[in-house]
Amino acid sequence: MKGFIQVYTGNGKGKTTAAIGLSIRAVGAGKKVFFAQFVKGKPYSEITVLQKLSPTITLKQYGLGCFIEKEPTKADIESAQKGLQEIKKFIQAASYDVIVLDEANIALFFNLFSVKDLIKIVQSKPPETEIIITGRYAPEEIIAIADLVTEMKEVKHYYNSSIEARKGIEF
């Protein structure tokens, strides 16, 4: 079966959730999934369920805390670049059927690694490997190489009414 490159982007909620849903569907079909989280490094609730699906889903975080709010630190950049190189090895070895690069677009936005490097790695995938790239601000170059692009658009959000993020819903 041919694998495609999918991108979930936009300012709306649901990009990571969609990637998790696809991952669970893939496991249900007997596929092996690698779920990489860039920028994120905290124990979000999705971590718990994905860890329970080990070894069919392998999850690794390449972030050092929560989202970067200002300028990334040298450690943020090193962690993301280390993660990208590890994923490159998994892609080259055809170790997984599905590889999710959660928040890779945010990593690009903060220049944790280059668009050129990510494209080179993604395009080196075996024909049957599916790759999902999530995060706001997907650059045009990523959209151009994708086979499927979904934009999550915020129409209304309760954050704007001073509602705090809720465990199990937003984190």
Digit-coded pLDDT (tens) for 45-72: 888 889 988 999 999 999 987 766 778 9
Asked if residue 169 is part of any domain, the answer here is: no
Overall domain count for the chain: 1
Asked if residue 76 is part of any domain, the answer here is: yes
Hey, is 139 helix, strand or coil?
coil
Domain ranges, residue 59: 5-137+145-153
Query: Is residue 49 within a helix (H) or strand (E), and if so which, with residue range?
Result: helix 45-52
Percentage of the chain lying above the pLDDT 90 cut: 75
- Mean pLDDT, range 96-123, rounded to an integer: 97
